[in-house]
């Protein structure tokens, strides 16, 4: 006992329905990419070995408390391009480096993500991070550095202290190449 059901489709109504659906989907995608999450491509070697040139990272642009922590990897809006750096100093901190050791507010800070680059710098007979400071980080600004400090333009040498509003978002994980998918926190 099969019944044949014939649906009458109005092509104009169907086209309008699909058009509305497409517009809503594009609107949602625009809002997400503009205000919440977006992919970025790493350009350069300043964050190696943590992040590599041409890797694509997923960036969280939505920060609930509008605050970043030491060690966060952030995207910084530059005049001509964006930069990927690590937050080292928070507003109010005093930053100093002596003999490849970072001091924040006079306390030695561990940077385990630098072990590979420290070893390479020592093999070359260099310091990884030239001595500097003390530098006091003003309110509403951050001090940032790349992990590959021999080859990084950052708060020490070109970018200066970073305004909070110039931080686009925080890197969450590498999404490409697929064989290198990993968390960046």
Say what the pTM is: 0.81
Please provide residue 88's backbone torsions phi and psi, each rounded to the nearest 5 degrees: -110, -45
- Looking at the annotation, which residues are catalytic? 46, 85
Q: Rounded distance, CA 49 to CA 132, Å? A: 23
* DSSP code for 160: -
- From first to last of its 185 residues, the chain has per-residue pLDDT tens of 677 777 777 888 888 888 888 888 888 777 766 666 788 889 999 999 999 999 999 888 876 556 789 999 999 998 889 999 999 999 999 999 999 999 999 999 999 999 999 999 999 999 999 999 899 999 999 999 999 998 999 999 889 999 999 999 899 889 888 888 887 87
Q: Does domain 11-183 have CATH number 2.10.109.10?
A: yes
d(CA 106, CA 134): 9
């Amino acid at each position: 006992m099969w019944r044949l059901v014939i649906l009458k489709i109005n092509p104009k109504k169907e086209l309008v329905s699909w058009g509305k659906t497409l517009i809503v989907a594009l609107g949602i995608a625009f809002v997400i990419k503009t205000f919440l999450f977006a992919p970025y491509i790493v350009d350069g070697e300043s964050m190696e070995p943590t992040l590599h040139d041409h890797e694509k990272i997923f960036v969280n642009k939505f920060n609930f408390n509008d605050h970043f922590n030491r060690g966060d990897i952030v995207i910084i809006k530059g005049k001509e391009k964006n930069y990927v750096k690590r937050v080292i100093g928070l507003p109010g901190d005093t930053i100093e480096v002596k003999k490849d050791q970072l001091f924040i507010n006079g306390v030695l800070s561990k940077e385990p993500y630098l072990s590979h680059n420290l070893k390479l710098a020592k093999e070359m007979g260099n310091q990884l991070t030239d001595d500097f400071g003390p530098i006091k980080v003003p309110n509403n600004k951050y001090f940032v550095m790349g992990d590959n400090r021999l080859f990084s333009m950052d708060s020490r040498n070109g970018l200066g202290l970073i305004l909070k509003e110039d931080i686009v978002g925080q890197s969450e994980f590498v999404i490409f190449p697929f064989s290198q998918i990993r968390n960046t926190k």
